[in-house]
């Protein structure tokens, strides 16, 4: 007699199926919870005196240099002021020097002027940027390709730099102030400000001439009517329909 070797299929109980599903759900949830906890970062309460104090929107450079603790800066005050956790601002008259400390302790001295442009120069610089960056302005002012090319060729804004001898001198004066004893800081600050003032006055004429030439190049690339239209439009160009109506009115006049 030959026995049949045919396999027999057995039904899985419903309760066992439910148990397997429950184990999968619980195990998956536990795994996800473990993963999230392992990558979590602790929350830290920041004291109020460590929160950025400057609220006028002008501390972005200090924030980048010094992190969240950015002191208030009186931009019109002469003297040395903290400009961030790792930077300082030195000002005398219209001349400013930023002293920025890097991660390796190296300090970078950057001279600049407190007031860079006249009102007209500032307007023309903004006008150029508006035309180059916004096709709506180009259409509204009817800027030609030749004018656009002229505006592109306007020199870039100048950046003040100390030459090697001047940098060495200012670095020595800065370190005497920054690293010196508290009792000697007033005298060291006075010497630092005097040297910075002298540098600023020696270079202001060339700086102003350069910026005046830049403004003249922008003004020369445009017509008086285009500049007038820009001034009357305000910060944003009129919508196409309004611009067309205004231009039609100009043609009738």
Predicted local distance difference test score (pLDDT) of residue 237: 82
With beta carbons less than 8 A apart as the criterion, state whether 98 and 113 touch. Answer: no
* Strand 107-113 with 87-92, pairing: unpaired
* pLDDT means over runs of 10, the chain (253 residues): 44 59 60 48 35 37 47 89 93 97 91 93 95 95 97 93 96 97 96 98 96 97 97 82 50 44
pTM of the model: 0.63
Which pLDDT does position 137 carry in this prediction? 95
- Considering just the CA atoms, what is the radius of gyration of the chain in Å? 33
Say what the pLDDT of residue 72 is.
81
- The answer to whether the CB of 90 falls within 8 A of the CB of 192 is yes
Per-residue exposure over 71-102, b if at least 16 CB sit within 10 Å of its own CB, e if not: bebeeeeeebbbbbebbbbbbbeebbbbbbbe
């Amino acid at each position: 007699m030959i026995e049949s070797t045919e396999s027999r299929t057995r039904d899985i109980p419903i309760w066992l199926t439910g148990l397997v599903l429950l184990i999968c759900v619980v195990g998956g949830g536990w795994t996800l919870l473990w993963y999230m906890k392992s990558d979590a970062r602790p929350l830290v309460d920041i004291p109020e005196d460590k929160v950025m104090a400057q609220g006028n929107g002008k501390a972005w450079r200090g924030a980048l240099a010094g992190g969240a603790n950015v002191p208030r800066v009186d931009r019109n005050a002469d003297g040395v002021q903290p400009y961030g956790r790792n930077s300082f601002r030195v000002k005398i008259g219209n001349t400013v020097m930023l002293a920025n400390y890097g991660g390796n302790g190296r300090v970078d001295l950057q001279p600049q002027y407190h007031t860079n442009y006249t009102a007209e120069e500032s307007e023309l610089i903004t006008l150029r940027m508006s035309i180059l960056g916004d096709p709506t302005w180009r259409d509204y002012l009817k800027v030609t390709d030749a004018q656009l090319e002229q505006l592109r060729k306007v020199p870039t804004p100048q950046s003040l730099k100390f030459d090697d001898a001047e940098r060495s001198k200012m670095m020595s004066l800065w370190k005497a102030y920054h690293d010196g004893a508290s009792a000697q800081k007033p005298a060291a600050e006075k010497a630092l400000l005097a040297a910075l003032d002298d540098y600023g006055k020696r270079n202001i004429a060339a700086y102003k001439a350069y910026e005046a030439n830049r403004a003249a190049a922008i003004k020369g690339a445009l017509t008086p009517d285009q500049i007038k239209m820009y001034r009357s439009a305000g910060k944003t160009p009129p919508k196409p329909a309004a611009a067309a109506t205004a231009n039609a009115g100009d043609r009738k006049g």
